[in-house]
Amino acid sequence: MTPIKAIAFIGLGNMGVPMAAQLTAKGFELSLFDLRPEAVSGFVNAYGGRASASISDAARGADAAICMLPDNAAVREAVLGEGGLAASLAEGAIVIDMGTSDPRATVMIGGELKKRRIAYVDAPVMGGVVFAKNASLDVIAGGSDDDIVRCTPIFAALGRQVFRCGTLGSGHALKVLANYVNACALVNLIEALAIGIAVAARLSPASSTFTCTASEALMRSTAARRSPTSHRACCATA
């Protein structure tokens, strides 16, 4: 199993920049591409790495490629489009989708890459920009055990824990479910606050207490989301 050293990093958005910066700082050789050339040049000036004029240029000589893109349509284009990763990476390379994607599309893309003898892992992350900046993301990985083991040094450079969730697509499935649960909790909190405000005239002292209690509940919910135990429970059923 060849260690991963050279990485094509595709997507320098709010999450992509701090994640790529962590990899560069920890010794990986990054070739970077984004649809915005100014994002690439700005990153290289600040953190290092090699600016690439295209995805195929970024993939030249890469052991692996990381996609940190908005959705599965963008990932599909980056991987299977003309001049994409599938046509540019060498056999034995591995593609890692670390964004939030449709798990059905993930399985389809993985099948196309397999025909070219390129591995595929879905490894979305839990945590926002702050966690990306201090490398404390949680990585939720789906794919073969061998492929995930091969990617572990990358994940260790980006996050605090890696959770193996099952076959290809299971990482993205769990991420979508986690986003759904968090959204439901937020909607419920907003509705509860709206009701509290509506009756504030009659319950003025209690209203402030309610607001503080609701805010504390939200923080505890966020802490629970970041809890290793909660992730293990979900992954165990994936």
Do residues 7 and 154 lie in contact, with contact meaning Cβ atoms separated by under 8 Å? yes
The residue among 76, 127, 82, 78 whose CA lies nearest residue 101 is 76
DSSP of 37-105: HHHHHHHHHHH--EE-SSHHHHHTT-SEEEE--SSHHHHHHHHHSTT-HHHHSPTT-EEEE-S---HHH
Is 114 designated active site? no
Query: Using the 8-state DSSP alphabet, how is residue 203 labeled?
Result: S
The alpha carbon of 214 is separated from its chain's Cα centroid by a whole number of angstroms, namely 29
Under a CB-based contact definition with an 8 Å cutoff, are residues 119 and 93 in contact?
Answer: yes
Cβ atoms of 154 and 97 within 8 Å: the answer is: no
Which H or E run contains 192?
Answer: helix 170-198
Find residue 31's DSSP bridge partners: 8, 50
CA 24 – CA 32 distance, rounded (Å) = 11
In the set 114, 115, 133, 175, the catalytic residue is 175
Catalytic residues: 175
